[in-house]
Amino acid sequence: MIRIKKMSKRIFLNMFIISSVVIALTTILTVVIVYKSFSNQNIAALKGELTATSSGVELNGVAFLKSLSGKHRITLVDSSGKVLFDNRNDINSLGNHNDREEIREARENGTGYSERYSDTLSRKTINVTKLLNNGDVLRLSEDMSTVWSTFMDTIFPMICVMVFAILIAAYMAGRVSKAATTPINQIDLNEPDREKVYDEIEPLIDKIIKQNNQIDKQIEQLNMEHEKQDNLRRDFTANVSHELKTPLTSISGFAEIIQNGMVKEEDITRFAGKIHSEAQRLIILVGDIIKLSQLDGKDIAVKMEPIDLYETSQAVMGHLEAAAEKRNIKMFLSGKHLVITGAEQIIEEMIFNLIDNAIKYNKTGGKIYVNILKNDDGINLSVEDTGIGIKDEDIGRIFERFYRADKSHSKEIGGTGLGLSIVKHGANFHNAKVFVKSKYKEGTKITILF
């Protein structure tokens, strides 16, 4: 609403200023034209009066001039420049007039004209002259202040009209600005096409409708995403509860049997080993959950430093060598010593989970190929196995927490079901991308692009 008022005010001011400027310029131009026309008419009248007066002088001489009572100054100058008659001043106090511009011009051309400052009258005058038959020059002069005063009497009504026109412009500008903004102010932003508006606002209405549609879609997407997150949260809670309950139940059961003395002395070590194994499984599971939680919030305290992917992969393969040998799986490392900037702990965990999965889901006597290379897209780290592969319908879900594509062998394979989820979140942490290629019963290749 405040923005609409400001827009209405701007429209009013712009229209009022433009109208006022146009009116003022038009008035000034009109005044100039009228003044010019008035001056020309005044000069023409002065010349007409000079012609009539000169005829009387030709017939009756100076006596005719003495009989006149005109409003103009009348001066008669002889051929030597001496003033013979002046109706405003004593002729004895007047000097030689042959140096006057209008007198010289009359002697040369028969008539003369000038606008100049008069030393005698101490003001600016308009002067018209005519050469008489006897060589004398007759001059009529009019005070320009008198001309201007007469003109101002004429121009005053025009100024009044201009002021009135500006007031009308202000009133109309207010009406127009209100008429222009009222339809905008009445637009229902939720249903902008409900009200009929003028054509100029149609693009704005279309834009609002389009924006509303986009907002509705975004809200719908956010709701769907929120629902998806809620479902994932519920699934995660249920899976965590299940994954924690299973080893805890085993630990509780074994401990209860030992406590009740139902285990032979020679079997205590075996039962303790099972309790230790289940406890280690719990420790690994809780550790993976903590890692995922940290990666989710990107609040894990790590040092970003240069990491040689080749050397890190080599070290991880060394840690997993015993696990691979148990299943007669051979591992091969190829590529170049390529360096990225990252968190060594997270990168090592990602590579560990990829190779560990490749061992767990491989065939006995299978192979694993770890390759580090660089192309136009960036640095690639890939882990490829010759294992059981993944079905097409499962590929899109393998990065979900606790999701196992091969559920029938999940218990004997072991693990927490969080390995690939950690890989995905670790890649997001480093702004990397993960790509999966797999053929069921033939093998899987997972590539991280840095």
Whole-angstrom CA distances from 72 to 88, 142, 147, 339 are 9, 5, 11, 106
**CATH code at 25?**
3.30.450.20
Q: What is the DSSP string of 102-131?
A: HHHHHHHHSEEEEEEEETTTTEEEEEEEEE
What is the residue whose two structure tokens read 């020679």? 266
3-state percent breakdown (helix, strand, coil) of the chain, nearest 5: 60, 20, 25
Q: What is the pLDDT of residue 3?
A: 53
- Six-digit token string for 77: 């100058």
* 77 φ/ψ sector (left φ>0, alpha ψ -120 to 50, else beta): beta
**CATH code at 357?**
3.30.565.10
Q: What is the pLDDT of residue 36?
A: 80
Q: Is there a domain that residue 159 lies in?
A: no
Are 285 and 307 within one domain?
no
- Six-digit token string for 283: 């420790």
Q: Which of 299, 323, 358 is the last residue of a domain?
A: 299
Residues 6+ apart with CB under 8 A from 301: none
Are 308 and 291 within one domain?
no
Q: Is there a domain that residue 182 lies in?
A: no
CA distance 369 to 358: 9
Q: Is there a domain that residue 161 lies in?
A: no
- Six-digit token string for 242: 């299940």
Q: Is there a domain that residue 423 lies in?
A: yes
Are 263 and 345 within one domain?
no
Q: Is there a domain that residue 167 lies in?
A: no
Q: What is the pLDDT of residue 243?
A: 57
Are 213 and 262 within one domain?
yes
Q: Is there a domain that residue 9 lies in?
A: yes
Is pTM beyond 0.85? Reply is no
Q: What is the pLDDT of residue 297?
A: 56
CA distance 413 to 418: 13
Are 126 and 198 within one domain?
no
Q: Is there a domain that residue 170 lies in?
A: no
Whole-angstrom CA distances from 2 to 171, 185, 278 are 22, 10, 67
Q: What is the pLDDT of residue 139?
A: 92
Candidates 15, 24, 6; CA nearest to 174 is 15
Longest dimension (CA), the chain: 168
CA distance 419 to 434: 14
Supply the range of the domain harboring residue 366: 302-449
Are 334 and 438 within one domain?
yes
Q: What is the pLDDT of residue 409?
A: 47
Q: 3-state DSSP call for residue 189?
A: coil
- Give the pairing of strands 330-335 and 367-375: parallel
**CATH code at 273?**
1.10.287.130
Are 390 and 293 within one domain?
no
Q: 3-state DSSP call for residue 144?
A: helix
- Six-digit token string for 209: 């409708």
Q: Is there a domain that residue 157 lies in?
A: no
Are 306 and 439 within one domain?
yes
Q: Which of 274, 299, 324 is the last residue of a domain?
A: 299
Are 327 and 413 within one domain?
yes
CB distance 429 to 295 below 8 Å: yes
Are 279 and 389 within one domain?
no
Whole-angstrom CA distances from 309 to 306, 313, 381 are 9, 6, 8
What is the residue whose two structure tokens read 């704005």? 204
CB distance 126 to 142 below 8 Å: yes
What is the residue whose two structure tokens read 């030689």? 96
Domains: count for the chain: 3
Residues 6+ apart with CB under 8 A from 195: 183, 186, 187, 188
Positions of E strands within 252-365: 304-308, 330-335, 339-343
Are 232 and 320 within one domain?
no
Q: What is the pLDDT of residue 361?
A: 87
Q: Which of 93, 119, 151 is the last residue of a domain?
A: 151
Q: 3-state DSSP call for residue 335?
A: strand
What is the residue whose two structure tokens read 């590539």? 447
Candidates 199, 228, 194; CA nearest to 212 is 194
Residues 6+ apart with CB under 8 A from 433: 427, 448, 449
CB distance 419 to 349 below 8 Å: no
CA distance 169 to 175: 10
Are 89 and 223 within one domain?
no
pLDDT (tens place) for every residue of the chain, 450 residues total? 445 556 667 777 777 788 888 888 887 887 778 778 777 888 888 888 889 889 988 888 888 888 887 678 899 999 899 999 988 888 888 889 888 899 999 999 999 999 887 766 567 888 999 999 999 999 998 877 665 666 666 677 777 877 888 888 787 877 777 766 666 666 666 666 656 665 666 677 677 778 878 888 888 888 887 777 666 666 656 656 655 666 677 677 767 777 777 767 776 777 777 777 667 766 766 666 666 566 665 556 667 889 999 998 998 888 888 888 889 999 999 998 999 898 887 888 888 888 888 898 898 999 999 999 998 889 999 999 998 888 877 777 777 766 655 555 444 555 556 777 778 888 888 888 989 898 888 888 989 998
